[in-house]
Amino acid sequence: MLQFILRRVLLLIPILFGVSVITFMLVRSLPGDPATVAIGVDQRITPEQRELVRKSYGLDQSKPVQYVKWMQHVVTGDLGKSLRTKRPLTTELKLRLPVTVELTLLAGLLGIIPALSVGVLAAIKRNSAADYAATVVTLLGISAPSFLVAILLILLFSYHLKWLPPVGYEKFTVDPVKNLKGMIMPAISLALPFAAVMMRNTRSAVLEVINQEYVRVARAKGLSGSRVLTRHILPNSALPIITIGGIQLAGLLGGTVIIEQIFGLPGLGRYIYDAIRNRDYPVVQGVTLVLATIFVTVSMLVDILYAVVDPRLRRA
């Protein structure tokens, strides 16, 4: 077992090395560079001066040298500084990671509760008016992209009702009420499409189980409807719901990019979006590496967990 774990951990090294090389090359394969974007189109500048701006960003060195220099810092835990803002990545991550995590979790929470209850209800009352109503609503939810929902929410709650500010972020630890006021609209924008998908999945997962023989047996032996639901139907339909829920929740992280932009949240999605746009190489590389590390570590832990549960997997 110990050997298995060790092997999985060692495997991380080549994976992360690969990720670092690929992001390094990819971000440099985009046309233009940080100097190009910074100089823009309204600055009169000679080719020599353009070269000096590139030099000030360290881009005059060859790519292998740039890569090695970057790696030398990364292995000591220093992710470097943004070329544009000159702020260290670690400072930015401390500010931004909690914002994106809070937004994702809040959206997940807001989405999952109605999704599960409506999904189960729609399955039990299949082909009823309630089921059709739920289907129509979820279809709308699936078809409406989250940015559209975001704009509609702003129009309703900021323009007309004037209840909520369209932008404005405060740390939860500083002012929880203001934090939630700023987070609620973005969270709902993300939660709606998520809830719609989850509701459909819940409905079909429950429907699948409802027609199984063991459910009919349970009914036949005289168990009450609610007991059949809680003891037989829900536990057996939970697995596909959780699997898809996990994937969908990860998808929410991607959706934060545009939502953070609209609501002016200082999250990670917005950070990397701006960095790609501005060709801010160290930021794109650093953030990608951090996200990749989180991702592979989590999958490694899951692998190990599977192996704990199922001894056959340890030989893999």
Strand partners, 88: 81
Nearer of residues 199 and 258 to another protein, judged by Cβ: 258
**Residues in region 87-106 near another protein by CB under 8 A:** 87, 92, 95
What are 215's two structure tokens?
């459910």
Binding mask 17-56 for another protein (x = CB under 8 A): -------------xxxx-xxxxxxxxxxxx-xxxxxx-xx
249 binds another protein (CB under 8 A): no
What are 36's two structure tokens?
């190009």
Phi, psi of 81 (to 5 degrees): -120, 155
Amino acid at 139: L
The least CB distance from residue 45 to another protein, in Å, is: 5
Stretch that binds another protein, among 62-70, 153-161, 231-239, 245-253 (CB under 8 A): 153-161
What are 278's two structure tokens?
């501005």
How far apart are alpha carbons 171 and 153 in whole angstroms?
22
Nearer of residues 137 and 144 to another protein, judged by Cβ: 144
Phi, psi of 30 (to 5 degrees): -70, 140
**Residues in region 154-173 near another protein by CB under 8 A:** 154-155, 158-159, 162, 164-169
> How many separate helices (H) and strands (E) can be counted in the chain?
13, 0
- The residue with tokens 């008016």 is 129
Pick the binder of another protein from 98, 114, 251, 266 (CB under 8 A): 266
Nearer of residues 98 and 240 to another protein, judged by Cβ: 98
Pick the binder of another protein from 20, 189, 248, 278 (CB under 8 A): 278
Pick the binder of another protein from 66, 85, 204, 293 (CB under 8 A): 85
How far apart are alpha carbons 188 and 113 in whole angstroms?
13
CA separation (Å) from 228 to 123, 206, 222, 237? 14, 12, 10, 13
Residue 296: which of 7, 3, 19 has the closest Cα? 19
Pick the binder of another protein from 69, 216, 231, 277 (CB under 8 A): 277
CA angle 154, 142, 211 (to 5 degrees): 140
**Residues in region 52-71 near another protein by CB under 8 A:** 52-53, 55-57, 60
The least CB distance from residue 50 to another protein, in Å, is: 8
Q: Name the site residues for another protein (rule: CB under 8 A).
A: 30-33, 35-46, 48-53, 55-57, 60, 82, 84-87, 92, 95, 151, 154-155, 158-159, 162, 164-169, 260-266, 270-271, 274, 277-279
